[in-house]
């Protein structure tokens, strides 16, 4: 039993999953923009994404903050179900933003911060039973590497969800038409 204690102590210090952007396999989600997407040409990018587990497509909402040719942009994609119908409306937009707004995200999502967030329990408390919900992911492309931290919505309000809310605030400040399309972020 004494041999297990040092091993358990080592596993408590989990680092954020890191992979090279050049090795990252893009998903087939054309609705979203990954921080390592070729269109970003290797520049710095940050994203907050929520994927609902039982909702039909599109079921993904995302805000990406990225730099391209020295200018910062916000790109948001979202959806909402029209009340009383089976219709879904989608919305996507990309707009330039101030360097100050981008700095709010940069200050929260460095490689060390993402590593600390990734070490948090995915479901929150160890004794929590969770059958449905959504997956929150914060991601960053920094120096050609993709860093991520994920947590399930059952974990409740955490530092990860607070940072996700910053992305939402920026997206709505630049395009208030996203009100109601980015629920969960």
Domain-embedded: residue 5:
no
- For residue 66, give the nearest of 32, 34, 43 by alpha carbon: 43
Angle made by CA atoms 75, 53, 107, in degrees to the nearest 5: 40
Domain-embedded: residue 169:
yes
Domain-embedded: residue 10:
no
Domain-embedded: residue 40:
yes
Read off the pLDDT of residues 70-111 as tens digits, 9 standing for 90 and up. 999 999 999 888 888 888 889 999 999 999 999 999 999 988
Q: Where are the beta strands (DSSP E) in 6-162?
A: 18-20, 45-52, 60-68, 71-81, 88-97, 134-142, 145-152
Segment 128-150 shows an average pLDDT of 85
**Cβ atoms 105, 170 nearer than 8 A:** yes
Segment 177-184 shows an average pLDDT of 88
Q: 46: pLDDT confidence band, cut at 50, 70 and 90?
A: very high
Q: With 70 as the cut, is the pLDDT of residue 17 above it?
A: no
Give the rounded percent of residues in the chain with a pLDDT score beyond 70. Answer: 79
Q: 22: pLDDT confidence band, cut at 50, 70 and 90?
A: confident
The pLDDT assigned to 49 comes to: 92
What pTM was estimated for this model as a whole?
Answer: 0.83
Q: With 60 as the cut, is the pLDDT of residue 13 above it?
A: no
Domain-embedded: residue 164:
yes
Domain-embedded: residue 140:
yes
> Mean pLDDT score of the chain, rounded to an integer?
82
User: Bigger pLDDT: 174 or 14?
Assistant: 174
Domain with 64, as residue range(s), is: 18-178
Q: With 50 as the cut, is the pLDDT of residue 4 above it?
A: no
Domain-embedded: residue 113:
yes
CA dihedral defined by 112, 36, 134, 127, rounded to 10 degrees? -30
Domain-embedded: residue 173:
yes
Look at the chain and report how many structural domains it folds into: 1
């Amino acid at each position: 039993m004494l041999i297990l204690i040092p091993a358990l102590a080592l596993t408590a210090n989990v680092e954020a999953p890191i992979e090279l952007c050049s090795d990252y396999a893009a998903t087939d989600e054309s609705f979203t923009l990954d921080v390592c997407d070729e269109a970003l040409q290797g520049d710095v990018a940050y994203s907050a994404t929520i994927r609902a587990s039982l909702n039909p497509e599109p079921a993904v909402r995302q805000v990406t903050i990225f730099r391209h040719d020295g200018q910062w942009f916000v790109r948001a994609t979202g959806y909402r179900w029209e009340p009383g119908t089976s219709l879904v409306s989608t919305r996507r937009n990309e707009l330039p933003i101030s360097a100050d707004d981008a700095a709010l995200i940069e200050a929260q999502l460095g490689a060390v911060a993402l590593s600390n967030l990734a070490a948090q329990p995915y479901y929150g408390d160890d004794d929590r039973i969770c059958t449905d919900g959504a997956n929150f992911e914060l991601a960053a492309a920094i120096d050609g590497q993709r860093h991520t931290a994920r947590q399930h919505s059952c974990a409740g309000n955490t530092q990860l969800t607070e940072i996700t809310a910053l992305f939402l605030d920026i997206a709505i400040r630049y395009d208030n038409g996203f009100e109601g399309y980015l629920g969960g972020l």
